[in-house]
Structure 1
Amino acid sequence: MSSPRQTLTALIAGFLLLPSTAVFAAGKCDRLIVTGSPDAPPYLWRDPQDPKHLMGANADLLKEAATQMGVKVEFLFGGKRSQALEEVRTGRMDLLADTPLNSAELESLDFIHPPIAQNEIMVWTRVGHAQPFNALADLRGHPGAISEKTRITSSFDSSIKEHLTLEKQPNLTQAFQKLMLGQVEFVLAGRYAGLALTQTLGMAKDLHAQPLPLDRPGLYLALSFNSACNDPWLRGQLAKKMTELAASGRSSEAVTRNLELWKAQLQQPASTTNQ
């Protein structure tokens, strides 16, 4: 039977170990290398002034959350979307900052809930277009277009493949040009990307979005299984911060701010941004 002195010594030793263990768990990863799509404004895109890095609403929001967590983040250009995904899958980079939920990726990525942002996929038409396009069924039998860069949910993707006739265009600019020329009757595009581009290209008086979104893909943080930073503390803290951001309204503020920033960049002659 242990003496009172031995019991007291053991208790003190246990209490002394608890703070250091907690600090170790919280400090295991003090720096995250983050990447994502280089062509998804206002959420994430390549910084024209510093092409090795990415910028956007998701970058701002994650940096804010990481500062509160005591973790540094660096947003690096990892190539086009598929290349960025591979960089994170392999663990060469830690985190994707703007990926849709995809069941095929659950074997290599931990998706953090809730999403850091949600996009709204709208039906864009010429002003004065008489046909009501308020639902997927309304689009059947009408020619449309979509940018290859526009991300949608897997269920919506299955629906449009089954029911619609869509031309895939390399970017949203070309899709809108076909709409302006009357070669298609509608374009499926994100609310904010469409707003910025129509205003920048001088099409705002000719093209507009129908009132109701047809799809709302979430854009998630996804942590690599192969990242040395992937531990329960980090996943829990990121989920907590994403929940707080969703409730605070700061997400919409970041989107609005970066939308204006992207529009300003598009209007600069030297800009290479192409959505």
Structure 2
Amino acid sequence: MRIASYWLACVAAFPSLCLAAGSCERLVATASPDAPPYAWRDPADPRKLIGASVDVLASAAAQLGVKIDVLYAGRRSQALEEVRSGRMDILADAVLTEADLEHLDYVHPALAFNDYLVWSRQGSTIPYTTLADLPGHRGVMSAKARPTPAFAAFAAEHLTLQPAENLTHTLESLAQGKADYAVAPRYAGAAAVAALGLDGRVVASEVAVDRPGIYLAIAQDSACNDGWLRGQLAKKMTELAASGGIQPILQRNAERWKQQQQAMSGAVKP
């Protein structure tokens, strides 16, 4: 319930104080369920999402005195539709697109930038320093990746970049010699390499080929979308960017996801 009875009583008794604090006591957010370290389903409670985006949003909501639930709403397209429709208030890992500007108010600055790196087998002879080095080589990238439109256009025109089912299959294809290089995120890629036992076999370049921003985005049709909430979230994102505080959160959640993957892998072994 967006506006509770005690809120109405507060407005009646202390209008200036309560109106300054916004008009929403509870927010419902969602995100892609398979985008570590930003968001993924909680193995302990699959109805909920966990990850770096969830941690940042929960911390901001706590400071603002607003309760928030970050819930699983289905695959990414379903999660996006739940927020576009206003049935959920916030998308916690939105990528900025022109089409979604009609439905979502993006909170600036970005929560983080998702560095996509070029990964290759140890000892590879690919002399990668820029994107111009990749044409003519066989590449692979997860079909679930969310690159910027500029990189997607460049890849479609100049690169031989085959889609893999997910990040795990992307890195396994590279390790097995089915591709010369892979394009994969920095943190999720490193965690997946460790979880798959590929340390020392697969390595990453430090030069990012793409850096899509990851944003908090509020549904324009959300009953909670007002200037106070947008402003307060923007303030929190500005503080986070200035402090560099997102990096330890990303690293902590990448390690968390890696440990969960290793635990699940061990559980299915005979």
Question: TM-score, normalization: structure 1?
Answer: 0.90
Contact conserved, 1:36 with 1:96, CA < 8 A, in 2?
A: yes
Query: Which whole-Å CA distance do the structure 2 matches of 1:35 and 1:267 have between them?
Result: 25
* Residue in structure 1 matched with residue 191 of structure 2 by the alignment: 196
- Counterpart residue number, 1:253: 248
Give the Cα–Cα distance (whole angstroms) in 2 for the partners of residues 106 and 269 of structure 1.
Answer: 38
Given that 2:195 and 2:262 are in contact with CA atoms closer than 8 Å, whether structure 1 keeps it comes out as yes
Match of 1:218 in 2: 213
CA distance in 2, matches of 1:134, 1:174: 25
How far the C-alpha of 1:249 sits from its partner, in A, is 2.3
Give the alignment partner of residue 25 of structure 2, picking from 30, 37, 40. 30
**Aligned partners of 1:111 and 1:69: how far apart in 2?**
18
Deviation (angstroms), 1:24: 2.5
* Contact 1:140 1:164 (C-alpha < 8 Å) held by counterparts: yes
How far 1:154 sits from its partner (Å)?
Answer: 1.2
Q: State how far apart, in whole Å, the 2-side matches of 1:131 and 1:139 are.
A: 8
Could you report, residue by residue, the CA deviation over 1:110-163 in whole angstroms, capped at 9, with x for unpaired residues?
011011121100000001111211211100011100001111111111111111
2:154 to 132, 154, 159: 159
The residue identity in structure 2 corresponding to 1:33 is V
Structure 1: state its 5+ residue gaps: 1-15
Q: Is 2:71 aligned against 1:76?
A: yes
Q: Gaps spanning 5+ residues in structure 2: where?
A: 1-10
Which deviates more from structure 2 when the two are superposed, residues 262-271 or residues 159-168?
Answer: 262-271
Partner residue, 1:10: none
Partner of 1:101: 96
Aligned identity (percent) is 51
Pair 1:234 & 2:209 matched = no
The residue number in structure 1 matching 2:167 is 172
What is the aligned partner in structure 1 of residue 111 from structure 2? 116
Match of 1:8 in 2: none
Deviation at 1:256, TM superposition (A): 1.1
Number of matched pairs: 257
Asked if 1:48 corresponds to 2:20, the answer is no
Runs of 4+ in 1 over 4 A off after TM superposition: 16-19
Aligned equivalent of 1:133: 128
Q: Please say if residues 146 and 175 of structure 1, whose CA atoms lie closer than 8 Å, have aligned partners that are also in contact.
A: yes
Matched AA of 2:148 = T
Looking at structure 1, the residues matched to 22 and 174 of structure 2 have their Cα atoms a distance apart, in angstroms, of 52
SS at match of 1:177: helix
- Looking at structure 1, the residues matched to 186 and 112 of structure 2 have their Cα atoms a distance apart, in angstroms, of 13
